[in-house]
Amino acid sequence: MTGKLKGKVALITGGSSGIGFDAARAMIAEGAFVYITGRRENTLIEAEKALGNQAVYVQADVGIKSDMQRVAARIAADFGHLDIIFANAGIGSYISLRDMTEADIDKTLNANVKGTIFTVQTALPLLSDGASIILNTSITANLGLPNFSLYAASKAAVRSFIYSWTQDLKKQKIRVNAISPGIVPTAAATGELGRSQEEERLRQQWRAKLTPLGRVGDVKDISQAVVFLASDDSSFITGIELTVDGGLSAIFANKL
């Protein structure tokens, strides 16, 4: 590795598994010290062990502002500043418009929209000039997928933040970008969407055939792009949504 994040302090929400965990691994490999958050302490403990002494977990629910204030206080006590935020935590499930309940709406928007706001808002006093904020959106925000409107709408809201926050934070030269993953199978996603492992395997085989690059994504595809947006390699990039989906949304949006 090149050490392109050497000396940087990063916060990754939803960092105990999947994309968040691999982003933490990739940032550490480039020299960063990483704080990971999540709701399940047992998973966080295992993730911290696997990541080594350049990672620390703080149990927190991104949808609860006091939890994220506690995370910021821990970082402030340890380092006094923060260089990178990857607001990655989120949830999603298939649910039709007819069946959608108030509880469903609150659960999704609390995690995906409020959680993104609280993550960035509580950490703002710690952000150094030139810091990098990366939000996790989704290609589904641009697609008309059946029974997925609530999740898609929440990610469209998150995408909108990059434009206004780029303006809000320009005096500090804080860059705000989004990473928009395509199909990236993870254990958490499979469980949330209610499919069995076999159903998921068959679904991904079908989607791989549709994708111009001939495969579905891997968490490493996303984490490498996140490191790019976190590093000085992207120092003249702000206010963008970087789509990492093998060309799927651009070419086959009407076949998903």
3-state secondary structure of 203: helix
First to last CA, the chain: 36
Residue 12 one-letter amino acid? I
Annotated catalytic residue, options 35, 94, 151, 163: 151
Tokens representing 203? 């679904």
Closest alpha carbon to 86 in 6, 32, 46: 32
Q: Measured on CA atoms in the order 239, 244, 246, 249, is the torsion positive or negative?
A: negative
Rounded to an integer, what distance in angstroms lies between the CA atom of residue 120 and that of residue 133? 8
Residue in the structure block whose two tokens are 């549709």:
210
Rounded to an integer, what distance in angstroms lies between the CA atom of residue 17 and that of residue 36? 10
- 142-181 exposure pattern, b = at least 16 Cβ within 10 A, e = fewer: beeeeebebbbbbbebbbebbeebbeebeeeebbbbbbbb
Residue in the structure block whose two tokens are 């609530």:
150
151 catalytic residue (yes or no): yes
Residue positions annotated with a catalytic role: 151
